[in-house]
Structure 1
Amino acid sequence: MSQCLLVFLKGGPSDIPEIHGVKSGSIEERLKIPRGNGYEHFEITPDFEDVGGVRMRVYQWSYRTAIAE
């Protein structure tokens, strides 16, 4: 059974929620989040964000790619 890890997304498009659930038991260096006809890419930072008493790892938006057809 995989765990859902909550992370805090910083930067990027305003329609992406800041709190994101990652279906993984471990921290990933990069996240690729589908959005429209592409992906938003976020990279891990050394920072943490406290949201409602929950400490979350911060990922910073880095770039966008299109879905290959």
Structure 2
Amino acid sequence: MRSSEANVILRGGPARDLPEQERIRRVEDVTVRIKLMRSNRYEHFEPSTDRVSVEGHELLAFDWAGSTYVAE
């Protein structure tokens, strides 16, 4: 995704499972927690009040809040 289409950047969490290029994304509602399926778990990110400049665009930062595992 191009950063001109994105409105958030995800910070923190397990770097090996979430490459940098997947941390910049577009979300519809920037006021709710983001839940991403990664392997056998969900990674949770919460909105912050911080803004980060990426390629000249201001993105709202979401901070990693933890993981939960998928029930079998």
TM range (shorter): 0.7 to 0.9
Q: Which residue identity lines up with residue 12 of structure 1 in the other structure?
A: G
Distance between the aligned counterparts of 1:23 and 1:45, measured in 2? 14
- Compared CA separation, residues 23 and 43, structure 1 to 2 (3 A): closer
- Are residues 1:56 and 2:62 paired? no
Greater share of residues in helix: 2
After TM superposition, the score normalised by the length of structure 2 is: 0.76
5+ unaligned residues in a row in structure 2: which ranges? none
Greater share of residues in strand: 1
Root-mean-square deviation (CA, aligned residues, Å) is 1.7
Aligned with 1:32: secondary structure? strand
Identical aligned residues as a percent: 35
5+ unaligned residues in a row in structure 1: which ranges? none
Question: Which residue is equivalent to 2:33?
Answer: 30
The Cα offsets for residues 24-50 of structure 1, whole Å up to 9 and x where unpaired, read as 2x3132000111101000111000000
Distance between the aligned counterparts of 1:23 and 1:29, measured in 2? 10
Runs of 4+ in 1 over 6 A off after TM superposition: none
In 2, are the aligned partners of 1:9 and 1:17 still within 8 Å (CA)? Answer: no
